[in-house]
Amino acid sequence: MKNIAFGLLFAMLWSSAAVVTKLGILSVHPLILANVRLIFAGIFILLISYFFQSHRRIQITRKELAQLAFFGLLNSTIYLGSFVLALTFLSPGIGSLATATNPLFITLLSAFLLQRKPQGNEIGSLLLGLSGILIASYSQLKLDPNVWKGLLILIGGIITVSAATVYYVRTEWQLNSFVINGWQVLIGGLFLLPFTAYYSDVSIASFDLRFFFSVAWLIFPVSMGALWLWFYLIDQDPVSASLWMFLCPVFGYIYAYLFSGESIDIFTLIGTLIVIVGLYVGKKQPRVSSN
């Protein structure tokens, strides 16, 4: 029951990131939002670990710094940077739907790293997932061809964060998952700083109530709450953890409809259903012969 409650809460929190990010980038450049979120989330997580989890080690060795830097570059710098930039072209519902395909890429990347031939259901699930995203985006693509840019940027980010998840699972960590999350988020934010400084114009940013609400929500419920739940679920069972991504498109569209006024048409419903079927196919275990 504990894992079910944690999985449900993870899906609810994680899928809220798209609609809140879309709200925040109305006030500031996307990279400013991402950078503030990453750096302050990392600081808060490490402070909580230091003051309230004193029995856990937060100091890192040189080897751990290298591991965390690589993990943070993939998981935070590239992925989150891609995510916020993609949402300048995409609706939050499409953003949530696309990120739900993360487990499909994880499965394929794991197969390549293990040097085994991907199974038919793994390839088929990825094709279903990508097809579902395109179908769900059809109405938006008709209205704005730039949606293609957002989809390509976001899919590139999803591939990167999938690689980060595989790296996390395959690495022998000596640190607590909460501490790992704090360091990788902070380091990822530091890596992102030069790009934010170069591409963003702080002078036209509006640091208003909308911005501070977005940052607070993305830091505490998402970066701290949802990511901790995700790492906990992965530590328990990586395969079962990824199944909670099934619910992310559903919650994502509910949030987008309620808070962003995003319309839900027949293409949205069909595309979402295809993505969910793709997730199911990807996680369906092949039948073993009894001969």
Q: State the pLDDT confidence band at 284, using cuts at 50, 70 and 90.
A: low
Q: Is 291 inside any structural domain?
A: no
| Statement: residue 190 has pLDDT above 50 | yes
Domain range for 267 is 2-283
Q: Give the separation between CA 203 and CA 158, rounded to whole angstroms.
A: 31
Does residue 290 fall inside a structural domain? no
Count how many domains the chain has: 1
pLDDT tens figures, 15-69: 999 999 999 999 999 999 999 999 999 999 999 988 987 778 899 999 999 999 9
DSSP run (H or E) holding 30: helix 30-52
Q: b vs e for 241-274, b when ≥16 Cβ sit within 10 Å of the residue's Cβ?
A: bbbbbbbbbbbbbbbbbeebebeeeebbeebbeb
Number of Cβ within 10 Å of residue 58's Cβ equals 18
State the pLDDT at residue 103: 79
In a domain, residue 288? The reply is no
Tell me the mean pLDDT in the region 107-136. Answer: 85
In a domain, 109, yes or no: yes
The confidence band for 286, taking pLDDT boundaries of 50, 70 and 90, is very low
Q: What is the pLDDT of residues 74-100, one digit of tens each?
A: 999 999 999 999 999 999 999 989 888
Comparing 230 with 215, the larger pLDDT belongs to 215
What pTM value is reported for the model?
0.86
Half-sphere exposure of residue 74: CA atoms within 13 angstroms, side-chain side:
16
36 in a structural domain: yes
Q: What are the backbone dihedrals phi and psi of residue 5, each rounded to the nearest 5 degrees, phi first? A: -65, -45
| 59 Cβ contact list (under 8 Å, min separation 6) | none
